[in-house]
Structures are given as C-alpha cells and as structure tokens.
Amino acid sequence: MSDCIFCQIVAGQLPCHEVYRDDQLLCFMDIAPASNGHCLIIPHEHHDDIFTMSDTLLAAVNQFAGRLAPILKAHCQADGIGVHQLNGAAAGQTVFHYHMHLIPAYPGQSIQIHGRAQGDPQQLADNATALREALATGN
C-alpha cells in the first residue's frame, strides 16, 4: 500500500535502522523506542492485522522473534523482553500494517508499547549494527 509507512520502509522509500531482512520479513529499530533496543518485526507483504495473516507468515514472525529475543536481551543487558502485538485501534494499534514489538524490560520499568520521544539516531544505528552482527554469528 503506497500510503502505509511500513510498506514504504520495506520498499526502501523511507529509511530505517535495519536489523534483519529476508524474503518475508524485515526487522528494524523502533524510531520512538519504549526502551533501549526496542525492535519491530514486520512482514514485507501488507496485512493490516493478524486477522488476514497466513499461518505460514505468522509462524515466520514468531520464529524470528524467538531467535532475536535472547540476542536482544543479552545485547541490552535486559531482565526480560516484552513481546507485543496489537490488532485494531481499540487494542491500541496505531500503524495498520501487522507488526510485532520486542521491547527490552528492566526492573522498575513500566513498559509502554509506544515510546513518546524519538530515539537517539546514533544509538539506534549502533543497536542495529550490533544486533545484525550477533544474528550473523549466532551470538
């Protein structure tokens, strides 16, 4: 969809701090992170929400989330990872292209799924680079 910001990111029309890309998925740093290391996983193919996603594509997102979560937790020295996925405006979805949030969590932190402020561009780039390298080496 030409008016979908995530479709524009997938197509390379808008920049992102890319962590991972394959023939089905793109993972990138959230530009307004809820915490340091906040990533989004999206399918290349546009789906508004979970209700139109194929089982195969849902499995691919979940499988990659399972691969990335321990790497993200270690990189950010987090105590946990929040995995969030919202469907419909009533549920809090603000971008209507299916996406999954992976949000590092720390003691005493109240996790907000949507960050309020733009992330530091250098920190976003550094995190993306470190996560890409860790995924490539399996660490």
Per-residue confidence (pLDDT) for residue 58, from 0 to 100: 98
Predicted confidence (pLDDT) per residue in 79-132, tens digit: 999 999 999 999 999 999 999 999 999 998 877 777 677 888 999 999 999 999
Decide if 99 is catalytic: yes
Q: Which residues of 115-127 are buried (b: 16+ CB within 10 A; e: fewer)?
A: eeeebeeeebeeb
Q: What span, in angstroms and rounded, lies between the C-alpha atoms of 105 and 2?
A: 34
Domain-wise residue ranges, the chain = 5-137
User: Catalytic: which of 97, 99, 101, 114?
Assistant: 99
* Torsion-angle region of 59 (φ positive above 0: left; ψ -120 to 50: alpha; else: beta): alpha
Q: How many other C-beta atoms can be found within 10 angstroms of the C-beta atom of residue 108?
A: 6
Residue 133 has pLDDT above 70, yes or no: yes
- Token readout for 86 is 């919202």
Residue 5 has pLDDT above 90, yes or no: yes
pTM of the full predicted structure?
0.93
Contact between 127 and 28 (Cβ < 8 Å):
no
Residue 139 has pLDDT above 70, yes or no: no
Mean pLDDT, all residues of the chain = 93
**Domain 5-137: which CATH number of 3.30.428.10, 3.30.413.10, 3.40.50.150, 3.40.50.720:** 3.30.428.10
Per-residue confidence (pLDDT) for residue 18, from 0 to 100: 98
Predicted confidence (pLDDT) per residue in 29-86, tens digit: 999 999 999 999 999 999 999 999 999 999 999 999 999 999 999 999 999 999 999 9
